Structure 1
Amino acid sequence: MSCYVLASLLPAGMHPDIVAYLEGFDATLAPFGGRYLIHGGRKTALEGTWPGDIVLLEFPDRAAAEAWYASPAYAELRPLRTRHLVGDVVMVDGVPENHRATDILSS
């Protein structure tokens, strides 16, 4: 089952460290089957407010997502982002293809 990494990051200037982070980031995804589903883009807050930018990555499964996050390649880049951007990053499992809202009642 797919696993997702969702980042909600507050806007910041384009510091040289952020440029270096972005330039190196894509190469960290490929070995783990990661891909972008959302990277910034237009958004509309339907309830509440959402001041940040959104990045949503998809991985084939949780093991691949965890291996990517723990990889030396990403560990080397991560401080370039965390020194300059404030936000939250979470990992969340997807649901089966035929998932229904009531499925959570039995878990």
Structure 2
Amino acid sequence: MTAYAIGNLHPKPVLDEEVFTYMERIQGTLDPFGGRFLVHGAPAREVPEGDWPGAVVIIGFPSYENARAWYDSAAYQALIPLRTRHMAGDILLIDGVADGYDPAATAAAMRAASGDPA
């Protein structure tokens, strides 16, 4: 099942050479794990609900295990300080949904588990 690394990053107004080095090298850390950028550093075009400061990064992986192995890899761990010294943010690793996912079936299972007979 596809998995994702998602970041909500808050870069400083002036970026440092380390950020450029990070960006130049990150793809090489993703390649062995099948990672590819789906969104890279884009500010939200529109926020119809809530508040979303920062820039969005979404990286797709073939599986959660690949995403976790990438994040834990020595190659990526060596790059992390180049980013974190220049931008704060939140990073998460998350599973996608399986092919054929049905939100109505999920709702029915949740309703049954809650004891709601509706």
Aligned residue type for 2:11: P
TM-score between the two structures when normalised by the length of structure 2: 0.83
Aligned residue type for 1:35: R
Deviations 1:28-69 (A, max 9, x none): 010000001111235211112211100000000011111100
Aligned residue type for 2:8: S
Query: Matches of residues 1-107 of structure 1 in structure 2 within 5 Å?
Result: 1-12=1-12, 13-41=14-42, 43-105=45-107, 106=109
> Secondary structure, in 3 states, of the residue corresponding to 2:11?
coil
TM-score between the two structures when normalised by the length of structure 1: 0.91
Aligned residue type for 2:26: F
Provide the aligned C-alpha RMSD in A: 1.4
* Stretch moving more, 74-83 or 42-51: 42-51
Structure 2: segments with no counterpart, 5+ residues = 111-118
Structure 1: segments with no counterpart, 5+ residues = none
Rounded Cα–Cα distance in structure 2 between residues aligned with 1:99 and 1:26: 30
Aligned residue type for 2:3: C
Aligned residue type for 2:46: T
Rounded Cα–Cα distance in structure 1 between residues aligned with 2:81 and 2:27: 16
Aligned residue type for 2:5: V
> Secondary structure, in 3 states, of the residue corresponding to 2:5?
strand
Aligned residue type for 1:23: E
Higher relative contact order (CA 8 A, sep 6+): 1
- Structure 1 runs of 4+ aligned residues shifted over 2 Å read 102-107
Rounded Cα–Cα distance in structure 2 between residues aligned with 1:11 and 1:82: 9
